[in-house]
A = this chain, B = another copy of it.
Amino acid sequence: MPPLRLNPTLFNRCRASSRPRLLRPALLPRFLAAQARWSSATTEPNQPDPDGGTQGAPSSQKHIKYTSESYPEIKRDSKFGGLSEKHVQYFKELLGTESAVIDGFSQDATDDLEPFNSDWMRKYKGHTKLVVKPGSTEEVSKVLKYCNYNMLAVVPQGGNSGLVGGSVPVFDEIVVNMSRMNKIRDFDEVSGTLVVDAGCILEVADHFLAEKNHIFPLDLGAKGSCQIGGNVATNAGGLRLLRYGSLHGNVLGIEAVLPDGTVMDDLSRLRKNNTGYDIKQLFIGGEGTIGIITGVSIQCPQRSKASNVAFFGLESFGKVQQAFCAAKGQLSEILSAFELMDGPSQDLVHRVTDKKRPLEGQHPFYCLIETSGSNPDHDSEKLESFLENVMGEEIVSDGVLAQDETQIQSLWSWREGIPECLGHWGGVYKYDLSIPLPELYKLVEDTRERLTSAGLVGDDETHPVVGVVGYGHMGDSNLHLNIATRRFDKEVENKLEPFVYEWIAKRNGSISAEHGLGLAKKAFIGYSRSETMIRLMKQIKELYDPNGIMNPYKYI
């Protein structure tokens, strides 16, 4: 069955003939089927992107520059000890199995170390000579205690799917990779409380929960590779924060190891526990700078029985805001996603994939709306009434409604495929920003205007910039501003920074809505946080990690 196509002209014609309920999904396809032209073919993404999207590895296997070369101003801190054979020996004995230690000290293991030294974007590359993979909280504790005593710097590493270089070393920091701690520890079906090892893959947990009729309250494009410990450490937001809220609300307990080896046993399974400072919250978004998360307890909602996805074209960002308000008001408790994509982002997806577009013609803006609820009939009725409103009022210009799971996935691919397609020409400058909603899109316009008037944007090889696009989680006021380029170019960079950050600071926005600080944003925190807050944060770092061994050179 083709997806249900809707547009206001048709709708108003129907309405004029006094058939106001003609948008009912069961009816419309019959007389609109002939006009449906959109293919539901999808492409398989190579590589997940935590933008709530999927992103291919850059098309060319370019040489990865060492971070220490890209950021020459960062110097290795001489307080850290160097790795010796004695150290390697200690870890080998501690962790027992050969496979738990990858050692480039006594032998050439460059290829084996490569995946742990560099990020999937191939943007950051470290010089580590040692990767350890502890298999238990106790082993993590012994590793950190030893490193702290010997002043060996450490980088905690989960699925290594971050976008800000937070999970790879800069110099010779030891990588503590959590992939061996990957068990689901416990699930209680009555309360919906899940307890997992930090290295458990998000998708593995979600599949496990699906069998129990529950859902993980976080979803993002990288779910096939990202680990829950990393999600929590970076306070991942993702696609359904709008519906299920943030990890600060959903995480019930954390087990973590402090740099001195102390095990913070705060793995509560209780929804309510007002007995003292909620210290675990510091580890949510702490990016591995004060300890390593080893276990997580989280409340999981029941899985929805029904899911619907609609995809609209709109004439202006004002109309997108109107549609968002209408969705909040009318879809209310069943609204689970409201995603924004601008016209240029969809044009680039179309250029790269050559897929048929979901809608006829081109529109300045698109949005994807998802509902999740417990009663398919009720959800359809609510959606229908919402569609009547936004189409009758001509808030949206055109739209389609997915008719089955394949079409749902296909519509999502026009949102999730953006990051992958943007990488097609070379590199992408990526900004992940929180901006008050009315001005959310103005930054994209201002940036495009700025780069265009500098003569940097164009269709041929002489121009470094292919396009300036905006998309993101409209429901959370979270914009992803992306600049697709043919090559990284200093002039482009100079036009972008600090321009983007100053623009954000003027509007009290956030320079990192969900990606975190890592190495990429460390220098810019002052645009989103006051000196007082930064001072208070440094106090916390000093308190938990006085030797500074945890994930150095990054964060604050």
Q: Which residues of A contact B (CB under 8 A)?
A: 188, 190-191, 213, 234-235, 237, 241, 245-246, 248-250, 262-266, 268-279, 281-282, 284-286, 290, 302, 304, 321, 324-325, 328-334, 373-375, 378, 381-382, 434, 436-438, 473, 476-478, 508-517, 521, 525, 528-530, 532-534, 536-537, 539-541, 543, 555-556
Contact = CB atoms under 8 A, between A and B. Distances in A.
Contacts of A333: 304, 333-334, 373-374
Contacts of A537: 276-277, 279
Pick the 4 closest A-B CB pairs, nearest first: A249-B249, A281-B281, A332-B374, A272-B513
Nearest to A516: B274
Contact of A381 (B269, B325, B378): B378
Contact of A512 (B274, B521, B534): B274
Contacts of A265: 530, 532-533
Given A277-B282, A382-B374, A382-B375, A270 B555 contact: no
A269 B508 contact: yes
A219 to B, nearest CB: 15
A517 B268 contact: no
Contacts of A508: 268-270
Nearest to A525: B275
Given A250-B249, A530-B265, A434 B281 contact: no
B540 A279 contact: yes
A550 to B, nearest CB: 13
Contacts of A245: 245, 249-250
B276 A434 contact: no
B264 A532 contact: yes
Contact of A270 (B332, B477, B521): B477
21 contacts: A188-B436, A191-B436, A213-B329, A237-B274, A245-B250, A249-B250, A264-B532, A270-B434, A270-B477, A271-B476, A271-B478, A272-B476, A272-B477, A273-B434, A274-B515, A275-B517, A277-B285, A277-B290, A277-B540, A277-B541, A378-B382
Given A264-B536, A270-B510, A270-B513, A275 B529 contact: yes
A453 B540 CA distance: 52
B264 A517 contact: no
A26 B533 CA distance: 57
A248 to B, nearest CB: 5
A505 to B, nearest CB: 11
A269 B532 contact: no
A528 B268 CA distance: 10
Contacts of A541: 277
Contacts of A539: 543
In the complex, the count of this chain's copies comes to 2
A134 B341 CA distance: 48
B329 A302 contact: yes
A509 B272 CA distance: 9
A338 to B, nearest CB: 12
Contacts of A374: 329-333, 382
A437 to B, nearest CB: 5
> Which of A264, A285, A333: most chain B CB closer than 10 A?
A333
A530 B253 CA distance: 13
Given A274-B513, A279-B537, 16 more contacts: A245-B250, A246-B249, A262-B532, A264-B532, A272-B434, A272-B514, A273-B528, A275-B510, A276-B285, A276-B537, A277-B282, A277-B541, A329-B374, A375-B378, A378-B381, A378-B382
Given A281-B282, A508-B269, A533-B266, A274 B437 contact: no
A248 B533 contact: no
A477 to B, nearest CB: 6
Contacts of A279: 282, 533, 536-537, 540
B517 A276 contact: yes
A433 to B, nearest CB: 9
Given A249-B246, A277-B286, A279-B536, A272 B241 contact: yes
A190 B533 contact: no
A328 B303 CA distance: 11
A532 to B, nearest CB: 6
Contacts of A263: 532
A272 B532 contact: no
B190 A325 contact: yes
Nearest to A330: B374
Contacts of A330: 374
Contacts of A271: 241, 246, 434, 476-478
Given A263-B532, A378-B375, A191 B437 contact: yes
Contacts of A190: 321, 324-325, 437-438
A272 B476 CA distance: 7
A466 B264 CA distance: 43
B264 A533 contact: yes
A436 B515 CA distance: 35
Contacts of A536: 264, 279
A473 B266 CA distance: 23
A267 to B, nearest CB: 9
A179 to B, nearest CB: 23
> Which of A241, A262, A331, A536: most chain B CB closer than 10 A?
A536
